Amino acid sequence: MTLFTLLCMPLFAALLVSITGGIVGSYVVTRRIVFIAGSISHAVLGGIGGFLWASHRYQLTFLSPLLGALFAAFIAAAILAWTHLKYKEREDSIIAILWAAGMSLGVIFMMYTPGYNVELMHFLFGNILWTTTNDLILISCLDATVLLCTLLFYRKFQAICFDEEQATLQGVRVSWLYVLLLGLVAMAVVVVIQIVGSILVISMLSIPSAIAVRFSNKLSSVIGKSIVLGMAISLLGTYLSFVINWPPGATMTLLATLCYALSIRIKS
C-alpha cells in the first residue's frame, strides 16, 4: 500500500473540513465569538459519550459518535441562543456552564462504556486517520449546508458580524440570524472535530481566519483566504504527522500557530 493510498481518505477529509472551517471561522473571528465555538466543542463530548454508551448498551449501531457530536452541538447552540436572546444572560456565563457540563457528562458516560475509551480519546484529541466513508458523507452534507446558507445569507451575516446595531435599524432580523449563525458554528465544530478533536477545535476555526483578517478587510476575501490556509495547514499537517509519527490534530495546531506567528512578523 502506497503512502498516497493510505492517506487518500484523510487528505480528502482535510480538504472538506477546511471549507466549513474557513467559512464559519471567518464569521466566528469577525464577530468575536471564538469562545462560543470553544464551548460547543467541549459540550459535544457529552453527546459523543452518550451515543457511544447507548450504542454499546442497547446495540444501536446507527448511533455513531459523530452523530452524537452533532446532536450535542445543536443542543448547546440552542441553549446559548435561547438564554442570550430570551433572558439576556451574559454569554460568558453560559459558555462556562455548557463547557463544564458537556465535559462532565462525557466523563460519566465514558465510565459506563467499557472498551470505548480509546475511541473517545480520538474525539478528544482528533485522529483524521480514522476517517470512514460514512464520516466523509456526513462531512460533505454539512459542508453543503454551510455553503448554501452562506450563499443565501452572506450579506446579512456580513451585516451582523460588523455592525449589529446598524443591521437592526435596516430591518434585518438579527435574532433569527444569530440563531442560524450558532447553528452553523455547531455544524462546523462537528466537522472540525473529525481532524483535530474537541479540545483543539478552536485552533482550526480561529487561526486560519485570524491570519486572513490580518491581510484583508473584506469578508469574502477573508473567507477565501481562510479556506486556502486551512487546506494548506490540514494537508501539510496530515502528511507531517504521518512522517514524524505525531498526533495529526496536535501537528496541525502547531503548524497553524507557527503560520500565525509568521503572519505577525510579516505584518509588523
Mean pLDDT of 214-243: 90
| pLDDT score at 227 | 94
State the sign of the Cα–Cα–Cα–Cα dihedral 30, 35, 36, 42: positive
Q: Cell numbers at residue 123, please?
A: 474525539
Of 1-5, 41-45, 117-121, 221-225, which gets the smallest average pLDDT? 1-5
118 or 198, higher pLDDT: 198
All domains in the chain, ordered by first residue? 27-267 (1.10.3470.10)
Label residue 229 by pLDDT band (50, 70, 90).
Answer: very high
207 or 199, higher pLDDT: 207
State the sign of the Cα–Cα–Cα–Cα dihedral 132, 103, 24, 266: negative
| pLDDT score at 164 | 79
Q: Does position 1 have pLDDT exceeding 50, yes or no?
A: no
Label residue 208 by pLDDT band (50, 70, 90).
Answer: very high
Q: Does position 57 have pLDDT exceeding 80, yes or no?
A: yes
Find, among 27, 66, 74, 29, the residue nearest to 49 by Cα: 66
Of 2-11, 86-95, 125-134, 216-225, which gets the smallest average pLDDT? 2-11
Find, among 154, 256, 158, the residue nearest to 202 by Cα: 256
Which ranges constitute the DSSP H helices of the chain?
A: 3-31, 34-58, 65-86, 91-111, 117-125, 133-162, 164-169, 174-196, 201-215, 219-244, 248-267
Chain centre distance of CA 177: 19
Label residue 119 by pLDDT band (50, 70, 90).
Answer: low
The CA distance from 189 to 47, in Å, is 13
Residue 131 near residue 197, CB atoms below 8 Å: no
| pLDDT score at 2 | 53
The CA distance from 254 to 23, in Å, is 21
Which long-range CB contacts under 8 A does 136-140 form with residues at least 24 apart? 136/9, 136/12, 136/13, 136/16, 138/66, 138/67, 138/70, 139/13, 139/16, 139/17, 139/20, 139/191, 139/194, 140/16
The CA distance from 148 to 157, in Å, is 13
Read off the amino acid at residue 86.
K
Mean pLDDT of 103-111: 87
Residue 222 near residue 70, CB atoms below 8 Å: no
Compute φ and ψ for 131, nearest 5 degrees. Answer: -60, 130
Read off the amino acid at residue 58.
Y
Residue 98 near residue 36, CB atoms below 8 Å: no
Of 84-88, 136-140, 190-194, 226-230, which gets the smallest average pLDDT? 84-88
Q: Does position 115 have pLDDT exceeding 80, yes or no?
A: no
Percent of the chain beyond pLDDT 90? 35
Q: Cell numbers at residue 203, please?
A: 485552533
Biggest CA pair distance of the chain: 60
| pLDDT score at 225 | 95
Residue 102 near residue 76, CB atoms below 8 Å: yes
